[in-house]
Amino acid sequence: MPVSSGIVHRYVPGEATADAVSATQELVATGRRVTLDFLGEDTTDAAQAAATTQAYVDLLDGLSAHGLAHGAEVSVKLSAVGQALGADGEELALANARTICAAARELGTTVTLDMEDHTTTDRTLDTLRTLRVDYPETGAVLQAYLHRTEQDCRDLAHEGSRVRLCKGAYDEPERVAFQDRHEVSLSYVRCLKVLMGGAGYPMVASHDPQLVQIAGALASRFGRTPDSYEYQMLYGIRPAEQQRLADAGETVRVYVPYGVQWYGYLMRRLAERPSNLTFFARSLITKG
C-alpha cells in the first residue's frame, strides 16, 4: 500500500457502512455532529450511480438503527449519483438525490449537496433549487475562492437555507477564482458576513484559526445563538480544536468520508491543490 494505513485511517475511518456508523458513534459521544460522504465520485454509468444511491440509503438506515439520525446527516456529490452521465445525467442525479433526501427526511435527518469544480456550480445550484421545492432543508455548499460566491451567498442567505461555506480545494483558473491565499481568505470573510447577517443557517467549514475566530465574532455581532450556525471540519483535521469548540457550547460537525475509494479521495485532495500536501503533513505533526 503506497499510503500507510495509519494515514488513511486518520482521514478515512473505513470502507464499510459499519465503519462509518462506528466513527459517527464515537464523534457524537463527544458532543460533535457528523456529515458523512460515501466515496463514490466520478461515477461512469447509471448502475454505479444507483449503487451509490443505495449505499446512502443503507447508511441512513444504519444511522437510524443506532439512534444517530439526529446527530448525523449525509453529504452527496451529484457526480457520484449520475450528474456527469451525458444528456440524461442531470435528471438521473436529481432522481437519485430525491431518493436520498426522502430517506433522510423519513429518518429525521438532512442532506447537503457538495460542490465540485466551477464547471458544475450552476448545474448543482439548479438541482438544489429543484430539490428544495420538496426538501427545503437540503443544504448548499459554496466555495469562497470563486469570484461569484459572494453573490451566491446573497441569493442563498434566506430563512431556512443551510449553507456550508468552504474555501475550495479544486485547482481553478484565474478567470473564475482567486489564486492568492490571502485573497481567498478575504473573500471568505466577505461571504461569511453575508451569511451571518442573513436569515439562513451558516455552516462555517474552515480549519483556519483566524477564520474560526472571525466567525465567532461575526456570530456575536449579528446576535446569533450557537444553534443558529455551526462549525465544520474534516475528520482527522484539528480534532483538538473541534473538541474545544464543542466543549465551549458551539455546534461542531465533522465531515467523515468513507468507502472503498478512499485512495482516490486522498489523492484527489492532494492533486487538486498541491498546498494540500503541506496541510495534510502539518496535521499529522500537530493534532490540534
Q: Is the dihedral of CA 60, 63, 69, 72 positive or negative?
A: negative
- In angstroms, how far is the first alpha carbon of the chain from the final one? 27
Distance between CA atoms of residues 98 and 135, nearest Å: 8
> Would you list the domain boundaries of the chain?
5-285
Which phi and psi angles does 245 have, rounded to 5°? Answer: -65, -45
CATH level 3 topology of 5-285: TIM Barrel (3.20.20)
Under a CB-based contact definition with an 8 Å cutoff, are residues 44 and 37 in contact?
no
Q: Which residues are catalytic?
A: 114, 164
Task: For residue 172, list its beta bridge partners.
Answer: none
Specify the pTM.
0.92
| The C-alpha cell that represents 23 in the structure block | 466513527
What pLDDT tens digit does each residue of the chain (288 aa) get? 455 566 778 889 999 999 999 999 999 999 999 999 999 656 889 999 999 999 999 999 999 999 999 999 999 999 999 999 988 999 999 999 999 999 999 999 999 999 999 999 999 999 999 999 999 999 999 999 999 999 999 999 999 999 999 999 888 999 999 999 999 999 999 999 999 999 999 999 999 999 999 999 999 999 999 999 999 999 988 999 999 999 999 999 999 999 988 887 777 666 655 666 676 666 666 555
Distance CA 55, CA 221 (A): 41
